[in-house]
Amino acid sequence: MSAVLSAPASACPACVAAPAAEALAARGQEAGLVLSLPTAHCAACIVDVERTLAEVPGVHSARVNLTLRRVSVAADPSVRPAELIERLAGIGYPAHELDPGLLSTTETDRISRELLMRLGVAGFAMMNIMLLSVAVWSGAEDATRDLFHWISAMIALPTLAFAGQPFFTSAWSSIRAGRLGMDVPISLGLILASSISLYETMMHGHHAYFDAAVSLCFFLLAGRYLDYRSRAAARSAAEELAALEVPRAIRVTPGGEETVPVAALAAGDLILVRPGGRMPADGVIVEGMSEIDRSLLTGETVPVAGAPGTAVSAGEVNLTGPLTVRVTAAGRDSSLHRMADLVAAAESARTRYTSLADRVARLYSPVVHLLALASFAGWMWASGGDLRLAVNIAAAVLIITCPCALALAVPAVVTSASGRLFRMGLLVKDGTALERLAEVDTVVFDKTGTLTAGMPEPVGLDDMPRADLGLVLALASASAHPLAAALARALRDRGLRPAAVEAIREVPGHGIEARAGGRTLRLGRAEWVGAAPADRLATHFAVEGRPALTFLFADRLRPGAAELVAALRRDGRRVILMSGDGAAAVAALAGALGIAEWKAGMLPGDKAREVQALTGAGHRVLMVGDGLNDTAALRAAHVSISPGSALDAARVASDIVLLGTDLGPVADALRIAGQARTRIKENFALSLGYNLLAVPIAILGLATPLIAALAMSSSSIIVSLNALRLR
């Protein structure tokens, strides 16, 4: 009867869950729209958002996922995401459209659900077998013991066949590749333990290890699941960052304007780039006047003028006026892609890092197999050829040494450390990033956008005539140009009010013009205003017939930058500043932060070469950068961090993404990484100590199923608790 009951339990989840998952995935695709909701956090938020979206005509359903801070909307194709975002903004929830194509949630869901199913099956089977085992341990004999062993076998064998699959497949593939991974001794232990126990049961033996085999499987699956979840959480958040920039371009055709995916652009197309927009491809300006921000590509902070005939590269930002650009190179040929090729080259040059766990496993697996083989041979000799006894003891050795705690030791610490860092605003994208971070002795910073906020602020405003500042504010308020906006903000902070002006208009590529008291006022570029050009980032203001005023700008330090550099120097780490910007600006910043080593005017290739040279000299380099010009260096470094404001190529290239604007968490990340490495090593030491105690008992043939079960559970629980100590 029990055979009839337990067989469907193990066969059913595998065959029933798969089609169900497919059906759910199909429903997910129909939803079509996915919006990110960074501020949603409570029951009221869920209700507000779902109700508001459901009221929009054409929306069939909306479901908030608070864990991922996303809402999926099923709607008619006619519903535009912008409309939904506007509605949500109206009730106080900022939302961003995500590119559903980049969010591979269904695949992640499927794998994690599958692991959870195996974990659940192993857990329930373990509990039931334990119930029966307790009876055997407390003295059930003869026919009763045999009956209990038979029932355990009927639960354990199908359970292991189903729940142990991840280990069996991975062990098989590593054997075929000629390696001995951690999964080989695990699989061997599971298979040997269950077949020995089945044989013992048939022969009315005293010891059966069904409980040990199933609980081993359960603990190992728990480690596997933790590992998978922490990586999936980081991956989904990273995907979200990438999916924020839905790559589209506005193509101008004889029939009018149309929005197309960037991938559809070809050389010769005419595209329209609005102010604030990023160039989707390389090209030449054919119409319009504007200023172009190249800082993400080159690190220069001063925008350059753009006029018909100026060449532009993909990734540059158009600041002031609308531009029509004729595409010269798109897709694979564009400078963005050439930069990506540079990254790929650095990638292949990067020495592959072997994680601590892999290094231990490489030592561990052969030792375990040799021990089991040696105890088998030893007992064959000692007992005068008692095969049954020798195999029994070899199986006990394999079960006891099975790296249960070892397989939990790393995932438990990494999950706990990544969770802590995530709450501090750091996203760990790579599993081994923490271990690598703990080894860092040299930190290389980019300047613009990394140590500085990338947002210039006016300096020396207090020396200006106050009467003119009101006029300046009136003009600056009328423009979306970053310099004008920064000037307006700074003036308003000083309690100034805009003076009355008339006929205000923006002259794209030049500045803002207005009239007051019969005179023309101009705020903008030096030549246009009639001022002497400054060698730094500046804007100029003049009232007709009077000498011009020059407002100089300085890039503000990112919050936490000074503290971070001080903390790094205090810990004895070497700090280097590398920038594509001019020597004067770089030297000023290096001086302000107390960085002794700096290099200016660096090309993207230079940065990567410099980082590789440092690595070659035996240093472990942490690269912190945000620009396209940093991507190759980010890849070449031992470990890398980029701010969330970075271009997605840089975020993809780095191991850790900083979600907030404050640089302070980087120092915490280094500290926690060091702690995590200590914990991992402690956990290895604990597992090793446990093995040193338990293995002799097993080799001497004194291990009973009770001892195996106790030793295994207690060591697993101890390493998990040790991981939680991370603070």
Partner 1 sequence: MDSLVILIPVSLILGLTGLGFFVWTLRNRQYDDPKGDAERILSTEWDERPKR
Chain residues in the site for partner 1 (CB under 8 A): 1-2, 5-6, 9, 12-13, 16-17, 20, 24, 42-44, 46-47, 51, 64-68, 109, 113, 116-117, 120-121, 124-125, 127-128, 131, 144, 147, 151, 155
Nearer to partner 1, 37 or 312 (CB): 37
- Nearest approach, Cβ of 155 to partner 1 (angstroms)? 8
Q: Is 109 a catalytic residue?
A: no
Select 43 or 363, whichever has its Cβ closest to partner 1: 43
- Supply the minimum distance, in Å, between the C-beta of residue 186 and partner 1: 23
Structure token digits, residue 472: 């300046």
CB 50 within 8 Å of CB 89: no
**DSSP-assigned states of every residue in 229-296:** HHHHHHHHHHHHHHHTS--EEEEEETTEEEEEEGGG--TT-EEEE-TTPBP-SEEEEEE--EEEE-HH
- For residue 113, the minimal CB distance to partner 1 (Å) is 6
Min CB(160)–partner 1 separation in Å: 15
- β-strand pairing of 442-445 with 574-578: parallel
Indicate the burial class of 463 (C-beta count within 10 angstroms; 0-12, 13-18, 19 or more).
exposed
Nearer to partner 1, 121 or 281 (CB): 121
| Sequence-distant (≥ 6) Cβ neighbours of residue 412 within 8 angstroms | 223, 226, 683, 719, 720, 722, 723, 724
Query: What are the CA-CA distances from residue 379 to residues 185, 387, 391 (Å)?
Result: 20, 9, 9
Our measurement of the distance from residue 610's CA atom to the centroid of its chain's CA atoms, rounded to an integer in Å, reads: 26
Nearer to partner 1, 5 or 724 (CB): 5
Decide whether 153 or 499 has the Cβ nearer to partner 1: 153
Residue 228 beta carbon to partner 1: minimum distance, rounded to whole angstroms: 13
Of residues 490, 423, 367, the one with CA closest to residue 669? 423
State the minimum distance, in angstroms, from the CB of residue 727 to partner 1: 23
Cβ atoms within 10 Å, residue 187: 22
> Among residues 407, 394, 426, 307, which one has the least CA distance to residue 355?
407
- What is the four-CA torsion angle of 487, 488, 492, 493, rounded to 10 degrees? -40
Q: For the chain, how big is the Rg over CA atoms in Å?
A: 32
Q: Under DSSP, is residue 481 helix (H, G, I), strand (E, B) or coil? A: coil
Give the residue with the Cβ less far from partner 1, 227 or 626. Answer: 227
Name the residue nearer to partner 1 (CB basis): 34 or 531: 34
Phi-psi region of 147 (alpha: psi -120 to 50; beta: other; left: phi over 0): alpha
Q: Give min distance, CB of 161 to partner 1, in A.
A: 15
Least Å distance, CB 131 to partner 1, is: 6
- Strand stretches in 58-110, DSSP E: 59-65, 70-75, 96-98
By beta-carbon proximity to partner 1, the closer residue of 113 and 569 is: 113
- Residue 163 three-state SS: helix
Q: How far apart are the C-alpha atoms of 303 and 486, rounded to whole Å?
A: 15
Active-site hit among 293, 446, 630, 655:
446
**Closer CB to partner 1, 91 or 377, in the complex:** 91
What's the closest the beta carbon of residue 707 comes to partner 1, in angstroms? 24
How far is 378 from 397, CA to CA, in rounded Å?
13
H, E, C per residue of 196-216: HHHHHHHCCCCCCCHHHHHHH
Cα–Cα distance between 324 and 287 in angstroms, integer? 5
Cα dihedral 718, 719, 721, 725 sign: positive
Measured from the CB of residue 146, what is the shortest distance to partner 1 in angstroms?
13
Class of residue 492 by CB neighbours under 10 A (exposed 0-12, middle 13-18, buried 19+): middle
CA 66 to chain centre: 19
Q: Residue 640 pairs with which residues in a beta bridge?
A: 623
For partner 1, which is the closer residue by CB, 38 or 547? Answer: 38
- The residues annotated as belonging to the active site are 446
